Amino acid sequence: MKKVILILLGILILQACGYQEGIVQKGEKSFIKFAGNWANVSVQIDDMNQFVLQSGTESNAGDNKLYQISPGKHSLKVYRDGSLIVNRILFLDNQATAEVIIP
C-alpha cells in the first residue's frame, strides 16, 4: 500500500512540475502622435475621410493627440483652412509611435 501511495505521489509531483511552452504576441497596432499647433487643422490618412483635431477648448489641450492605426505604409496629409501644410509617407512598425509635428 505504501508503494502505491509513493508511486501516485511521485507521478503527481512530476506532473505538477511539467514544462509548459507558449508564445505571447502583442496585437498588431501602431500609433500616430500629433503635436504642435492644432488650430483649424484637419487630417487625412490614406483614403479615409478627413477628421478634425480638437484643440483649445478641451481641458487637456496641452496633451498630444494619439491615434491608433494598423502597422504598414500610410499616406498622411494635414490641412489648415483648406491648404495642405503637411504631406508625408509614414512606415509604421508593430507597437511603434510616429510623431507628426504640425507647424
In a domain, 64, yes or no: yes
In a domain, 7, yes or no: no
In a domain, 2, yes or no: no
Specify the pLDDT at position 60.
44
Q: Which domain holds residue 64?
A: 26-102
Q: From CA 61, how far away is CA 41, in angstroms rounded?
A: 14
- Residue with more model confidence, 69 or 12: 69
Specify the pLDDT at position 18.
66
Length of the chain in terms of residues written = 103
- How do residues 34-87 score in pLDDT, each as one tens digit? 888 888 899 999 999 998 987 544 434 445 678 899 999 999 999 998 899 999
CATH of the domain at 66: 2.60.40.1120
The amino acid at residue 57 is T
Q: Domain count of the chain? A: 1
Alpha-carbon Rg of the chain, whole angstroms? Answer: 26
In a domain, 72, yes or no: yes
Specify the pLDDT at position 76.
94
Helices (H), the chain: 2-16
In a domain, 13, yes or no: no
- 42 close to 34: Cβ distance less than 8 angstroms: no
Q: What Å distances lie between residue 13 and 8, 16, 61, 64, 92, CA to CA?
A: 9, 5, 59, 54, 48
Specify the pLDDT at position 46.
92
φ/ψ (deg, to 5) at 32 = -115, 125
